[in-house]
Every structure is written in C-alpha cells, then in structure tokens.
Amino acid sequence: MLEREGYLSEDAKYQAATGEVQGTFSTEAYLNRPESVYNGQIDSLQGKMKKDSTNTFAKRSSGIIMPEYRLPTETEWEYAAQANQGSREYNNYRGRKKYPWDGEYTRNGQRVGRGDQLANFKQGKGDYGGIAGWSDDGADITAQVMSYKPNDLGLYDMAGNVSEWVADVYRPIVDDEVSDFNYYRGNIYMKSAIGKDGKVTILRDSIIFDTLPNGKVVAVNLPGEIKMVPVDEQETYLRTNFSSSDNRGYRDGDPGSSRFFDRFSDEDEEQDDSKKMYNSPKHTVERDADGNLNRQYDTSNDRTTLINDEVRVYKGGSWSDRAYWLDPAQRRYLPQYMATDDIGFRCAMSRVGSKSKTKNKTPRGKKAK
C-alpha cells in the first residue's frame, strides 16, 4: 500500500528481497520510527511523495494503513456463527437456533434443495467416502469453500468443513462474562521498550529462536520489529482493569474454582505445584551440544489435567466430527503449537467506528414508530 500511494518506491520490497538494501519492514516500526526501517536505509527507497517534505512518511491518519489481522475471540466467533439468535446456557444453546442455520436439523427444510445437508460433517461411522444419493454431503474430507449456504450474516462454513481456532485460552466452563461481546481470556499485556533516547527500541540483533514443547524451533524476535516487554508494577499501579502482565489464569484458583485455595496465604508464597488447579504434565525438550533433541516426558501420577495456558479453543466442527460439534456453543482445545488436518482459521480485524458504512434510515414516506 505504501508503494501504491507513493510513500515507497515501487520496487522497495524486491530490493529488500534481493539484498540490495538490508533489513526488514515492520508496519508498527514504520509507524513509530519510520527512519529505522530497512536498517535506516528507507531514505533510499522513498517514492514520489518525497517531493512533498510534509508527507515523507505515512501515518495512521493518512488513511492507507490497514488495521492488523488477528484471530477472532471466542465470543466474536460465536456471535458471527449463530447470527445473533438463541440463548446460551453454559456450553449449549437453547431455542430454535441450535446450528448457524434455523431449526434443529442438519438438512435443508426449504422448498429448494429440501433434504440436502447444510454442512460437511461426519454423518455416521465410516462416513469418509460419502453416502450414496441425496443424503451425501458432497465431500469425503474438506469441501470447497462456499459449497453450502451462508448463515444469516452471510458467512460461509461456520459449521463443518474444518474447525476453527479462536484466540481464547481454554478453560472448561466459560465465565459468566460470556454475555459481554468483548469477553476474552488470554490477555498478556505488553508495551514497547523505550530506549535511553526516549524512542521505541527496534531490534537489530540476529533472530532469536525458541524451542516449543514438541521440539519445534520457531523465531520469536525478528530484526526490524519493535522490542516488546511485559508491563511492570509501575504500569499497573492503581489500575482497575488488570494488575499483572500475564492474565491467562484470571480467576483460576479462587474459592469457587479450587478446593485447595487458601484465602489467608501470603500472596508471595509459592503455591504447591501439585495443588494447582491446572497442573498439566510438564514435558521438557532440550538440545545437547550437537543439536540433538532430548525429550523428557513427565511421568508423574499426580497430574490431574491436560489444561494449561498453552492450549487454545477451537470451534465449529469439521468433516471428521459428528453433528454435535456443529453447535456454535461447543468448544474443544488443543495445544496452540500443534496442527491437524481438520482445524483451520479465519481472520478478524478490529474496526473503529460504526458497525456499518451506511446509517439506518427510515424509508421515505414512513414514520418511525
């Protein structure tokens, strides 16, 4: 977009890819310290807007930089899937809206296409090759997107085909605040690191790698990005909404959730690991001097759950699931570093302003009641 609008030369990304210029591009780094992008060589990549010295760099207010994409929260996903009908009671919906479509059945009840399946799911034992005749859902594994009718919001495949990741960390029962559209479990509050010069710190060192519990190596910090650090006590002092950086375990261990909770214990006192509410197995993966993986399994018999802060919710049901999982209220979890052939995702974007581009107006000639 910056190339198209003339803030960068039309071949900027190609020069970076071929090594003609060093460094990488980060949108957040560009907005905070544009002169630091491409290891400070951005001046050599300026586009036609350079002629106007007041518009050398684009800003949020320029209106051309899009908001970041992200995973939807669980409540956002449910809102989109059920099309704002039905009432939730724990992990089930009551009323006529059991699925993303009207009614309590998986077949089309309308005159056109009556009897056709409304989603791609596992209808019975061994239903991976389809069922003969009109009862077939049209796919043995995944089907092409938009193969089935959309829900009332015009969204396709909100049930069946593939399950979908959401951003929330899993807990067995959704808190009462699920009625809040902005409810989300998994907040980790970070802030930009500020250097001695009073400006945000841009990472310059080589890529930093991290080893996941399954042994996979991933990059966690890339050169050219803004260095992020957890909020500290100075940031959270007298705040009313959060008091620590990591809030994934919010309300875990309170009197209503654990029989081992001691309300009179010292907050600084380390809680017995065997008495924690979610004391899942802790496997360790280490590398020796030769780079070989050494996997050590947790064989303790005191572990009581597979739930921890690294598991995320996925919803919607897939081609390998029974109809039960097509209900938007149903929820399962999987470690966030794992992948399967029946879980996908869709992106969401935070929109600032009204819900729609056009305002609701009373039709001409009619009076509002």
Both 62 and 72 in one domain: the answer is no
49 CB-near residues (< 8 Å, 6+ apart): 5, 6, 7, 55, 56
Structural domain boundaries enclosing 88 = 68-186+309-354
Contact 71, 168 (CB under 8 A): no
Residue 259 lies in a domain: no
Both 176 and 198 in one domain: the answer is no
Sequence letter at residue 337 = Y
d(CA 226, CA 233): 21
Looking at every residue in the chain, the average pLDDT score rounds to 81
d(CA 41, CA 43): 5
3-class DSSP state for residue 286?
strand
CATH number at residue 135: 3.90.1580.10
Task: Please tell me the pTM assigned to this model.
Answer: 0.82
253 CB-near residues (< 8 Å, 6+ apart): 260, 261, 271, 276, 277
CB under 8 Å, gap of 24 or more: what pairs does 138-146 form? 139/319, 140/319, 141/319, 141/341, 142/319, 142/342, 143/319
The string of DSSP letters for 100-151 reads SSSBS-SB--SSTTTT-BSS----STTTTS--SGGG--S-SS---TT-S---
CB under 8 Å, gap of 24 or more: what pairs does 268-275 form? 274/302
Both 217 and 318 in one domain: the answer is no
Residue 23 lies in a domain: yes
What mean pLDDT comes out for the span 156-183?
83
Contact 228, 191 (CB under 8 A): yes
State what percent of residues in the chain have pLDDT above 70: 79
Q: Is the pLDDT of residue 179 over 80?
A: no
Q: What distance lies between CA 144 and its chain's CA centroid? A: 23
Both 181 and 218 in one domain: the answer is no
Q: At 55, is the pLDDT very low, low, confident or very high (cuts 50, 70, 90)? A: low
Both 43 and 138 in one domain: the answer is no
The tens digit of pLDDT for each residue in 199-255 reads 888 887 767 888 888 778 888 878 888 888 999 888 888 888 888 899 888 877 666
Residue 367 lies in a domain: no
Q: Is the pLDDT of residue 278 over 60?
A: yes
Both 81 and 37 in one domain: the answer is no
Residue 87, phi then psi, degrees to nearest 5: -125, 140
Residue 291 lies in a domain: no
Both 79 and 173 in one domain: the answer is yes
176 CB-near residues (< 8 Å, 6+ apart): none
